[in-house]
């Protein structure tokens, strides 16, 4: 039997390292930590814009259109939904269960100048695509550049 010397400071250092790791993760990924504390999941989103519209894409596998609620207020888009759990079979002996059931939600602030009343949402193959057209005044303007021809007489005057 070996005797091991107890070092209380070693255990304090381990506790401090654990707290440091927790705080680093919270600062590096605050949205993930916030979603855990909110007892729900915040779906990941891709947001991009084209010349004519802003597009929000979110993977929502297993979600049906009737389980989704999309609201646009001013320039804030809120995607909410709830997935129901499958009936639990008492004969099943789960070794691991990671599929989330319950409420989820995500709010995004988008640029101003969108025609939110013309937004269109499509749920296809588990991917939600929300398309919001830009207002005409928010679209980029193309300015035509005109070349001015200088007459030969004007060049001579400029040199003198």
With bands split at pLDDT 50, 70 and 90, how would you rate the model's confidence at 149? confident
Average pLDDT over residues 126-152: 85
pTM of the model: 0.59
C-alpha 77/C-alpha 38 separation (Å) is 19
Question: Which DSSP category does 65 fall into?
Answer: G
Phi-psi region of 34 (alpha: psi -120 to 50; beta: other; left: phi over 0): alpha
Q: Give the pair of three-digit tokens for residue 71.
A: 């609201």
Tokens 């919001």, residue? Answer: 132
> Are 35 and 46 in the same domain?
no
Average pLDDT over residues 102-123: 90
Domain total in the chain:
2
Longest distance between any two alpha carbons in the chain, whole Å? 109
> Are 23 and 81 in the same domain?
no
Residue 56 lies in a domain: yes
Range of the domain at 23: 10-39
The pLDDT value recorded for residue 119 is 93
Residue 114, domain CATH = 2.60.40.790
> Are 81 and 26 in the same domain?
no
Q: Which helix (H) or strand (E) holds 12?
A: helix 8-28
């Amino acid at each position: 039997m070996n005797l091991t010397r107890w070092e209380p400071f070693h255990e304090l250092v381990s506790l401090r390292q654990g707290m440091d790791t927790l705080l680093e993760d919270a600062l590096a990924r605050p949205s993930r930590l916030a979603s855990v504390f909110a007892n729900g999941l915040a779906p990941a989103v891709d947001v991009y814009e084209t010349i004519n519209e802003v597009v929000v894409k979110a993977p929502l596998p297993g979600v049906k259109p009737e389980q989704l609620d999309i609201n646009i207020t001013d320039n804030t888009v809120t995607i909410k939904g709830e997935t129901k759990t499958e009936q639990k079979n008492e004969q099943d002996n789960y070794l691991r269960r990671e599929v989330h059931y319950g409420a989820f939600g995500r709010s995004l602030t988008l640029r101003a100048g969108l025609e939110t009343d013309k937004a269109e949402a499509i749920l296809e193959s588990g991917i939600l695509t929300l398309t919001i057209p830009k207002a005409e005044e928010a679209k980029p303007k193309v300015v035509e550049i005109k070349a001015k021809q200088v007459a030969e007489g004007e060049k001579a005057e400029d040199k003198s």
